[in-house]
């Protein structure tokens, strides 16, 4: 009986010892896993901090370069102002010598630029940007076409007509009854009445430019370039 009890006690102690060892091993493994996770997190934070330090250094360098550029810009401003004046003068001369399309609108833009140039509150950068915006618009005129309403003197009477501009190559108008068409003569700087047989193609071209009909090949009169 005593041997049985001792054997049972011994087995029980062994089971408890094994359970304790297992629990200890599991606890140790859990601690190791947690430590590994924390270590991985720390390594990740180190990498992130390094990236932030690199970004901070780059921003500091960029800030220093910007401040230097600002100081240099102050020195350049007296030289930029005359240049902007020349650009504006050249733009005005160009518009005046160009085909007379949207003339009032374009000249009004130039007048606004002139006011901006004399406005003490305006910065050099805003003046430059405004001039370049107008230059961009003027450049685009050479790459597109449009139809719009205008007023022209026909037989001594000012009437509303349909205007047609094709890039900077040609400018036309046609009366609403489609009986009179004219083309701007760049040689004489005046309107030239076109033959009646051109009216149909002028009307088609106006519709194409107004996007009310599909594009098609059309034969339109053009002023011969100077010297040709």
What pLDDT digit, counting tens, does each position of 121-152 carry? 888 888 889 999 999 999 999 889 999 999 99
User: What are the pLDDT digits (tens) for 71-99?
Assistant: 666 666 677 788 888 999 999 999 998 99
Same-domain pairing of 156 and 203: yes
Q: Please say if the pLDDT value at position 7 is more than 60.
A: no
Longest C-alpha distance within the chain, in Å?
A: 141
Do 135 and 69 share a structural domain? Answer: yes
**Is 193 inside a domain boundary?**
yes
Query: Is residue 6 included in any domain, yes or no?
Result: no
Instruction: Say whether both 78 and 132 belong to one domain.
Output: yes
Same domain for 179 and 111: no
- Which residues sit opposite 160 in a β-bridge? 151
Structural domain span for residue 119: 65-141
9 located within any domain = no
Within this chain, do residues 126 and 109 fall inside the same structural domain, yes or no? yes
* Residue 214 resides in a domain: no
For residue 7, tell me if it sits in a domain.
no
Among the candidates 119, 141, 163, a domain finishes at 141
CA separation for the pair 132, 220 (Å, rounded): 33
Using a cut of 0.85, tell me whether the model's pTM lies above it.
no
Segment 165-188 shows an average pLDDT of 93
Domain boundary among 141, 159, 174: 141
164 found inside a domain: yes
Together in a domain, 108 and 164? no
Question: Whole-angstrom Cα distance, residue 120 to residue 142?
Answer: 34
Q: How confident is the model at residue 36 (pLDDT cuts 50, 70, 90)?
A: confident
**Pair 77, 110 in one domain:** yes
Question: Are 116 and 127 in contact, with CB atoms under 8 Å apart?
Answer: yes
Q: Are 137 and 171 contained in the same domain?
A: no
Q: Inform me whether the pLDDT recorded for 39 exceeds 90.
A: no
**Inside any domain, residue 224:** no
Question: Are 134 and 174 members of one domain?
Answer: no
69 and 137 belong to one structural domain = yes
Rounded mean pLDDT, 166-187: 93
151 shares a domain with 132: no
CA dihedral (95, 97, 103, 107) positive or negative: positive
Query: If we measure between CA atoms, which residue out of 149, 177, 154 comes closest to residue 164?
Result: 149
Of 87, 110, 141, the residue at which a domain comes to its end is 141
Q: Any alpha helices (H) in 98-198, and if so which ranges?
A: 103-117, 124-141
Domain shared by 136 and 151, yes or no = no
What is the rounded average pLDDT for all residues in the chain?
81
Q: Is residue 57 part of a domain?
A: no
**Structural domain count of the chain:** 2
């Amino acid at each position: 009986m005593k041997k049985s009890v001792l054997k049972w006690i011994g087995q029980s102690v062994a089971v408890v010892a094994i359970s304790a060892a297992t629990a200890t091993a599991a606890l140790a493994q859990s601690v190791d896993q947690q430590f590994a996770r924390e270590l991985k997190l720390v390594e990740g934070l180190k990498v992130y901090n390094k990236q932030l330090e690199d970004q901070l250094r780059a921003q500091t360098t960029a800030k220093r370069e910007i401040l230097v550029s600002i100081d240099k810009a102050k020195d350049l401003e007296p030289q930029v102002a005359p240049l902007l004046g020349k650009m504006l003068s050249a733009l005005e001369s160009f518009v005046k010598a160009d085909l007379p399309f949207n003339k009032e609108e374009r000249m009004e833009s130039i007048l606004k630029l002139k006011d901006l140039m004399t406005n003490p509150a305006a910065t050099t950068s805003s003046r430059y940007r405004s001039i370049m915006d107008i230059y961009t618009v003027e450049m685009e005129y050479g790459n597109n076409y449009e139809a719009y309403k205008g007023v022209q003197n026909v037989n001594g009477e000012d009437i509303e007509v349909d205007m047609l501009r094709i890039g900077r190559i040609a400018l036309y108008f046609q009366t609403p009854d489609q009986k009179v068409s004219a083309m701007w003569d760049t040689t004489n700087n005046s309107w030239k009445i076109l033959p009646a047989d051109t009216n149909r193609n002028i009307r088609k071209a106006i519709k194409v430019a107004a996007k009310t009909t599909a594009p098609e090949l059309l034969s339109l009169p053009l002023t011969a370039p100077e010297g040709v």
